[in-house]
Structure 1
Amino acid sequence: MPKMLPISDSVSRLRRSALRVLLLLLALGVAPHASALEEFISPLEPADTSSPRATLKSFRDNYDRAMRVYYEVRSRDLVDRAAQVRALRTLDTSKLPPAQARRLAGEAMILLYEVLDKVELPPYEEIPDAAAMLALPAGEPRRWRLPGTEFIIEHIDEGSRKGEYLISSNTVGRAKEFYDQARNLSYQPGAMEGFYEDIISEGGSWIPANVIHLLPDWAEDTLWGQAAWKWLAMALTFGVWLLSFYVLRRLSHPRDGEPHYWLRFLLTVLMLPLTKGIRWFMDQQLVIAGTVFEVVDTSILVLYYLVGAAVVLNLGAAVASSLISTPRVDKDSIDANLISVGTRTVAWLLAILLLAKGASDLGVPLAAVVTSLGVGGLAVAMAARPTLENLIAGVTLYLDKPVRIGQFCQFEDVLGSVERIGLRSTRIRRWGGNVLSIPNAQFAEYQLDNYNDAKYIWIR
């Protein structure tokens, strides 16, 4: 007959067994996490661009880390943003328009990765590292080209990225061309097949895929690189913008004919967030890509800066109107004209600077912008020379004050009283009652007799 153990010994054995099981479970659970900790990369960790080998490896590893889960699960929330930024940082984006650089670089990143997924890459050991690049003879370009392609990683010799090896700006700019050339090539094992096509056929978080699949079959057909439903959505979006512009313009120009400058300014301001919102919708929700994106986004940016310039001009008109409407300023005086012209001139200068900033953001070289402004300014100055002469003469009359409004004067054979001194012309009411209007440039050259300032008037 088996010997019975005391209850206390049985409990101790059960406890020891339970402890062993618990330790085993902990070991099994901690092992994967320990591996994950070893693979952890700080979000502040920069991309390694110390050599062509490091740059290519950093680009592929970070892109895969950022997009693999999204490719498999189709959830934008699972994209590793830090890894995505590191992958982007391996590209030379210096030749992209500043206002569109991040978006165009993101598209180029996906296209280039797909190209690399279709070509046979050499082992990393065969790609030159930093030591191999330093060993190159003096004067030889420090660059590496992927065999059989025009995919180039080159040394950056100037700018904020000086000393790094980046995927060349030419490679980035031709990413779509390379993608089209490799379209019929087979994917390498483990590649994210058709990822770019999937992205451009989908919409953003506001347009779920199940809603798109409810549309007719023709809506998903591709036209110029975009799904048909996206073309319809673009047309509707621009229609909303045009309708809003028409309504706000009608509101800012009441039927009473009186200009409401402050109302016009405020309504124009409303077009700025609307235009910016439409740009965001096209980019983040319709997910337009390729040349169509560049054309559409550039058009929206041009509209945005034009609206911004209109805001500045309307603000100048509103400020001038408010200053002139004060009781201390006579609306018909040269003071009112100076306020109006001065304020509007400042507004025009600011608007031109804003448009120049917009041109620079769209990738137009600053030297070309300055040259265009110089040539344009010279052409305007030559065309408006008579007007400018009259304006300068009007300011001279205002400062020197040889005559004032209401004073009696004579020049050549004209005798009369001054009714108005404007910035462009001066009005004289003659003895017979008729009014003579003389350009300021001509009036300033006359020898004036001001009878109001005379101590004596000799009468023969």
Structure 2
Amino acid sequence: MRRLSVILILFALLLAPWGHAYSGTTPPGAAPPDVSLQDPLGRDTPRGTVVGFIRAAQAQDFARAAEYLDVKLPTVRAQRLTQELKVVLDRGLNVNLNLLSAKPEGDPAASPKPDRQLIGTVSTETGGLDILLDRVQRGKSPPVWLFSSETLKRVPEVYAEIGPPWLESYLPTPLVENRVATYPLWVLIATLLGIPMALVIAKLLSRGLIPLLRPLVRYLTKEQDDRQLERITGPIRLLMLVVAIHGIVMLFGLPLLLRQFWSRVALALAVIGMTWLLSRLIDILAELTHRHLDRQSRPHNATTVGLLRRLGKVMVMVAGALVILYAAGVNITAALAGLGVGGIAVAFAAQKTLENLFGGITITSDQPVRVGDFCRFGDQVGTVEDIGLRSTRIRTPDRTLVSVPNGHLSSISLENFGVRDKIWFHPTIQLRYETSADQLRYVLAEIRRMLYAHPRVESQSARIRFVKFGACSLDLEVFAYVQATDYAVFLEVQEDLLLRIMDIVETSGTSFAFPSHTAYVTQDRGLDAEKAQAAIAQVRQWREEREVPFPNFPPERIVEMTDTIPYPSPDSALRAKS
């Protein structure tokens, strides 16, 4: 923010140089007028007339300044009237000279009648004096804008009421009569002294205002410390500096051009201060909203808050820049209309930027992933750390940070592991072809029994089926859901289930198949005949009792078996500690 403030200050100062900022030149974007029709004194436009008169009078070239008046008087009286008009404008005219019309025909909105422009009004106790310009054509010369005779008639009266700046009556004559760069010496001294005075006044105003804001800030933020107040102290001090500058300018009664310069500097500082203050307020509001969402157990909405915070700050910055441009005399409406022509090229150049911006808005609003979710995007996986205006940052298991453009992320398939309510357990068990049918029935029944009985397995959907004769194995497919959302917990339960399956297979007398062909070239122990006979006997007993558990156990038997296996196992270290 400080870097941006410095840039805006420099930008504002470049737009507001001391004297050369005010000219009657053609505004940017307008066609240059015919040189043969231009007035040598710059009276073609209302702005040129006002600025030309002030410059000539400021340089005490009263003969030249009189050329801007629509009046015929003797030289001495004309010069006297010129001096009085200059004082009246310096003391009472409050207009932005850059906003005066720079068109030969003037501004229709400021025309009380054809060929007349209202520049502004000088307020007095006896009534306001309208500063009017008339468009006059003499002979075959091009028409020019001159100070209206109607205005000039009342200038002596208003001058007698307003008079020169009050400070001049208390200053030595050399400070008033001696000039530097067309300004009286006292004006430059007052300007140099006014800068430290403004800083001191701003500091005093801030010290008085901040304690008054402390109770309000604590009430709104529900905090008893001044952390949030300290975040807005800087902008408040800058805004107080603006107030101090206006006070110093009005106190000293500076000439119009110099007053215009400091007014523009104050405006630039005010825009920067308000931009800075609004940005800090947006940050504070976002932080308070985060806390509120955390208290309501809705942290997933924090992503939306973060994106809105960024968008809000960007809009504040753009608005501040537009205000400064408008104050500098740039026709914002014409500039925006001009974008209709150049906007096509800009749109093509900014296509990816806009795509990423709208992609971020889509991700935030649709919320396929949120900050903190573990997800799969393309052929990579990772945890979402931040969703920005341009890209989303994802932390991979290797602890590297991947930045994915939002436009790309919003157009690909995203698999969000963070919203699972349970995790799928689906191994394929491959048994040797030497396994008998009854051994296979035993394995199926015991694994099915174990799935129903396990407390961390969802019994309603659990199943195991003999699905196919594989190339080198008898394939059994397990389908079950482990009641866990954390992957580390799932791995614990999966480990227990796989170990129990190994025990069941070993108890049945068979073993797991290998993905290869077995050639018996020597005598080995082969299948365990004793265990095989035991498994066959168990199946025979089921047949005799008509309790063969195929295609499934009876529902009442499933209810009896549910959650009967001790888990963790009796010899587990976790059970021993409990």
What is the TM-score with the length of structure 2 in the denominator? 0.40
Ranked by relative contact order (alpha carbons within 8 Å, sequence separation 6 or more), the top structure is 1
* Higher radius of gyration, 1 or 2: 2
What is the TM-score with the length of structure 1 in the denominator? 0.48
In terms of fraction of residues, the more helix-rich structure is 1
